[in-house]
Copies of this chain bind each other. A is one copy, B any other.
């Protein structure tokens, strides 16, 4: 399959207009859209073809409230590492859209799957979690192409999320995701725009 300039241009648009979204509209996402996103994840790479990602769509309000409380506690704690001025800047940032996003997805990694038969992960066992990361990013790009936004919330106690959601011991939280229509489009990261951390170019050296 020879890919063309049209493919390159379209991929560039998707990559350029993907954002980590924290400002969501509450509009629900149709089930058939979610099914397409799930099918896109089947195309992600995985070590040993093990596909170790496990997606929980967190729908129950009581569970969502516990996740929001987890985020708020972790975020308050995180702000303590900064001096007073920086803490004030940090407090101005909106770092998650958990209350507004219509869909919450908790993506876990099964750290001991039968699938793959151990191939490719003996010296680098982290490859299982890395496989889930590529599945999450596949979902993210497919969602953006459907004009949906995704936000990856990492300011959470991951073990507490696992307990809240009652998952098996072998499952490790890899990403907690908010999904929905974004309130606005942007081709620039919010943290660059808000002057928390400006964009830096990829460092690449020949040795």
Contact present for B120 and A95 (CB under 8 Å): yes
- How many copies of the polypeptide does the oligomer hold? 2
**Contact residue among B13, B133, B174 (Cβ-Cβ distance under 8 Å from A3):** B13
> What residues on B are CB-neighbors of A55 within 8 Å?
202-205
Tell me, yes or no, whether A187 is within 8 Å of chain B by CB: yes
Contact present for B42 and A13 (CB under 8 Å): no
Tell me the interface secondary structure of chain A in the complex. mixed
A90 to B185 alpha-carbon distance, docked (Å): 48
- Given known A-B contacts A90-B119, A124-B156, A207 and B138 have beta carbons under 8 A apart: no
**Residues of A in contact, count (CB < 8 Å):** 101
Tell me, yes or no, whether A179 is within 8 Å of chain B by CB: no
Tell me, yes or no, whether A122 is within 8 Å of chain B by CB: yes
A23 to B85 alpha-carbon distance, docked (Å): 54
Contact present for B45 and A144 (CB under 8 Å): no
> What residues on B are CB-neighbors of A16 within 8 Å?
43
> What residues on B are CB-neighbors of A144 within 8 Å?
3
**Contact residue among B2, B11, B189, B196 (Cβ-Cβ distance under 8 Å from A117):** B196
